[in-house]
Structure 1
Amino acid sequence: MKQSTYPLERELGMRYYASDAEGIGGRLRATPEDFIVGEIPLESKGGTTGPYLICTLKKTNWELQHAVKEIAKRLGISHRRIGWAGTKDRNAITEQWISIYDVTPERVAAVHLKDIVLEPVRNANEALSLGDLLGNRFGIVIRDSEVPDLASRVQAITETVREGVPNYFGLQRFGAIRPVTHAVGEWILRGDYEQAVLTYVGLAFPSESATVRAIRGTFFTTRDPGPALKEFPVQMNYERAMLQHLYNHPGDYPGALHELPPKLLSMFVSAFQSYLFNCALSQRFDDGHQLTGPVPGDHLVFANGRTDTVTSGNAGAAAMHIRRGRCSIALFMPGKEKAGGTATSAPAIDALLAEHAITPEDFGRASHFVDTKFEGAFRPISLKAAIESSIAEKSVHLEFTLPPGHYATTVCREFMKADPVRMI
């Protein structure tokens, strides 16, 4: 395995690549057309009658939460009445299903927004929620590769991805421009809502304009929402909503957080869970273990949902099942419920939780604050995909399908092995 040398990746726990092979470099998302995502829906979910209208949403260069708020505004409804099965990238062309409560197809057809196409499909008796999809299809172009042996590198990495790469949560899980999502989640878990707001609104990053950095820095230092509210650009509506609440209700930091859409609020905590998973997976590699080499204590997840624990007596059989694609080693993403058994991930996770002073009880309190269950779950450590690739001069076109919750940028990262800023 090869270690990443990029500070941002290392800070987010993504410290390894699957192989020692050199990457192809290049640039991802030079245009939205270079990153196309199509959702594979659960077409039968919710039946064909009921108060929820299922629609296809095709958008170009829109962040999902902002798109939902604009659609809700045009419909004259709360954005809380709109549900979706999966979040999608901003700098991309994406197509997915959403559910809207108690609207007619005629009202939806009257919604017109630039770079958004919204089309009714059918009614259903329940809303869509995260995970209600079969997977996603990707068509991706990596441009401007300067390596002389491009074809051979693409072939070698394609074989690596087919065998499996670390199933890290990708950079966009934490915020591509400002990777603060997990940090906000950590403060929520600690119950320090003031620091959560200060981190989200006031923590500046070099990728932002000097003006925005200055506004954030002043608010972080003074805690005074008035000047920041006047100076923040109008398009930064989440920051402005929180600041407006603090201006009207000084010191009410929990209330300021609740100005955010509920699903965004819940993503903060789940991003911290993702951070812990990334760190624990890299710790596994630090300890000399592999993606497909089971060791006693490992937790196995089978394709049919069955689970098992590796012992010294069944390690050989477990390795055979993994090679044949019947199961995968999984690490525990902590929540208010503790992992069962003696999974190998437990010591690493326990150490990380102790380092950050987070307990299962903190996840329980966050569940009430955010109104989302954070029960903990096992996640496979290996991502595998059959890649169809083609090369045109210095560009590489990739097509593949991934299950829900897996990141295309994790695949692209293995191909590129480049500075993560070239993947935003």
Structure 2
Amino acid sequence: MLSSLPEEQIIGIDHFISNHAGVGGSLRNNPEDFQVYEIENVDYKPLNSDPSTYQYLIFRATLLNWDTNSFTRELSSHLDVPQNYISWAGTKDKRAFTTQLFSLKNTHPLSLPPIPDTTMQPVGRLGRNLYFGDLAGNHFEIIVHNPAEVSNISAITDDLKNFGGGTVSFPNYFGHQRFGSIRPITHHVGLYIARGDWEGALMSYLGSSYASEPEETQEARSLVQSTRDWELSLSLFPKWLHYERNMLKSLIHTGGKTEQDYRIALETLPRNLQLLLTHAAQSYIFNRILSLRLDKKIPFHIATVGDTVCFSKPIHGLNLPDITKSQTATSKNLNSLNRHLTRNRAFVTAPLIGSETTLSPGYPGEIEQMALTEVGLSPSSFDLPGLFNSFGSLRPILTTTQLELQENPLTFSFDLPRGSYATVFLREYLKSPLSQM
């Protein structure tokens, strides 16, 4: 294994699986070069179904250079409806060409407004909003610009096959987008929240600046960090920083002096972003668990005693974990579980640690405790108020895929299950700085 890049270690990723130099190059030189198509998993009703029974309009949107949150904010503004009327099955990045489903409550198909660089096609109705389970995965078509060492692609692919026991595989890390592509701070905010430090969480969100941000944004963050002058800071924060400005307005209203004031300010974030903060903390700990497992040279494609193994269910050509069907690996059932794993009928998992998580026995549990000790938390730390609370869950530690390659331009085509990151896969091939991913 090779050591990861310094900016990846900030988000808990310590290693590359492949032992060969990367091909170099960059992604997203043009949004059209990073294409994402949802593999849908929802049975919606026909478009002409009774809207009194099926209140949610389902539409398929194609977005060019729009991230999901910005698009839904723009759409809600055009329709003059709350942003939480709009739901989706999977969040997409901005600098890409994406096709995905959305649901919209109490809306006529003809009401969808024209928005630049988007198309919206009504496709059906549902009696509920969309949620994460309505997405099986994503298909990717990604062009790499200016690669340098194309000859290494075959060797890197062989490394990834060896890691997965014969199939192209990689650790199921959370990618840098989970933590903030320009300003990777969401896990810091979430960790402060889990420690009960609402002021630390708020100031991390408002005041942590990065050189990749515009100068005026850096100056505004520096001011709020050094002065705690909410009104002056509001006058300096750029108009496009909607969330920070809403927090500052809340602090002005409440006085901004108590832990409760700081929590109320954080709760001005949209529902999905409040959830993201705790999830980012859990994601960082998960990344650390995977890195520590690699340090100890424990396999990912087969189980060791103490691992939790989830059985899989095939959906639209992808193997997805069924976390309701799991077993803990013991000396008695280990061989049986590993037979399921080698036949792609199961996954080794690690916990997204929450308030109801019980740490694993054996080496896996020791690794989980090491990751928690690093950040000064325990499972009970995630017993939090409101949307910040999380009971915990399980996540596969390994992702497998079938890769197709084209040359001139170098193009990677592959499918990934929901929750897995194309950039985490492609980092093994490019080994380029995150700013080029």
Distance change in 2, residues 1:118/1:38 (3 Å): same
**Which residue in 2 is equivalent to 1:67?**
71
- Equivalences for residues 192-231 of structure 1 within 5 A: 192-231=197-236
Residue in structure 1 matched with residue 402 of structure 2 by the alignment: 386
Deviates more, 1:238-247 or 1:270-279: 238-247
Secondary structure class of the residue paired with 2:107: coil
Aligned positions of 1:31-46 closer than 5 A:
31-45=30-44
| Alignment match, 1:302 | 311
- Structure 1 match to 2:289: 280
For the 8 Å contact 2:35–2:140, the answer to whether it is kept is yes
User: Do the aligned residues in 1 keep the contact of 2:206 with 2:244 (CA within 8 Å)?
Assistant: yes
Are 1:369 and 2:380 matched, yes or no? Answer: no
SS at match of 1:97: strand
| Contact 2:157–2:168, Cα closer than 8 Å, also in 1 | no
Letter of the 2:93 counterpart: D
Q: Is the 8 A contact 1:299 1:343 kept in 2?
A: no
Equivalent residues in 2 for 1:334-373 (5 A)? 334-339=353-358, 342=361, 344-365=363-384, 368-370=385-387
- Structure 2 CA distance, aligned partners of 1:168 and 1:123? 35
Q: Is the 8 A contact 2:172 2:396 kept in 1?
A: yes
Task: Look up the match of 2:412.
Answer: 398
The corresponding residue for 1:132 is 134
Q: For residues 84-126 of structure 1, what are the alpha-carbon distances to aligned partners after superposition, in whole Å with 9 as ceiling and x for unaligned?
A: 1111111111111111111111212xx1221122222212100
* Residues 1:417 and 2:422 aligned together: no
- Does 1:315 pair with 2:334? yes
Match of 2:349 in 1: 330
1:280 is paired with a residue whose SS is helix
CA distance, structure 2, for counterparts of residue 148 and residue 315 of structure 1: 40
After superposition, the CA RMSD in angstroms is 2.1
Note the C-alpha offset of 1:322.
2.1
Q: 314-323 or 164-173, which moves further after superposition?
A: 314-323
Q: Which amino acid aligns with 1:267?
A: L
Q: Which residue of 1 aligns with 2:266?
A: 257
Q: Is the 8 A contact 1:131 1:405 kept in 2?
A: no
Maintained 8 Å contact 2:359/2:369: no
Contact 1:23/1:153 (CA < 8 Å) preserved in 2? no
Deviation at 1:22, TM superposition (A): 2.4
> Shift of residue 205 of structure 1?
0.7
Count residues in correspondence: 415
Task: Tell me if 1:18 matches 2:20.
Answer: no
TM-score by length of 2: 0.89
* 1:3 Cα deviation after fit: 2.4
Provide closer, same or farther for how the CA distance between residues 301 and 202 of structure 1 changes in structure 2, counting only shifts above 3 A: same
The residue identity in structure 1 corresponding to 2:147 is S
Match of 1:3 in 2: 3
Deviation at 1:243, TM superposition (A): 1.4
Kindly provide the amino acid, as one letter, of the partner of residue 118 in structure 2: I
Structure 1 stretch 319-328 or stretch 177-186: which is displaced more? 319-328
List alignment gaps of at least 5 residues for structure 1. Answer: none
Question: 1:115 corresponds to which residue?
Answer: 117
Tell me the alpha carbon deviations over residues 229-283 of structure 1, each in whole angstroms, 9 at most, x when there is no partner: 1122211111111112222332122221121111111101001111110000110
Match of 1:96 in 2: 100
> Residue in 1 aligned with 2:316?
none
Equivalent residue letter for 1:236: L
Q: State whether residues 41 and 133 of structure 2, in contact with CA within 8 Å, keep that contact through their aligned partners in structure 1.
A: no
Identity percentage of aligned residues: 33
Alpha-carbon distance change, 273 to 45 in structure 1, aligned in 2, over 3 angstroms: farther
Structure 1 residue 158: Cα displacement: 7.1
Looking at structure 2, the residues matched to 150 and 89 of structure 1 have their Cα atoms a distance apart, in angstroms, of 28
In 2, Cα distance between equivalents of 1:3 and 1:104 = 53
Would the aligned equivalents of 2:33 and 2:143 in 1 still touch at CA under 8 Å? yes
CA distance in 2, matches of 1:107, 1:409: 36
Residue 146 (structure 2) aligns with: 144
Distance 1:221 1:345, change over 3 A: farther
* CA distances 1:162-198 after superposition (whole Å, capped 9, x unpaired): 3311110001011100000111111222222222121
CA contact (8 A) 2:42 2:134 kept: no
| SS, match of residue 230 in structure 1 | helix
**AA aligned opposite 1:369:** G
Higher alpha-carbon deviation: 20-29 or 318-327: 318-327
Structure 1 residue 65: Cα displacement: 1.1
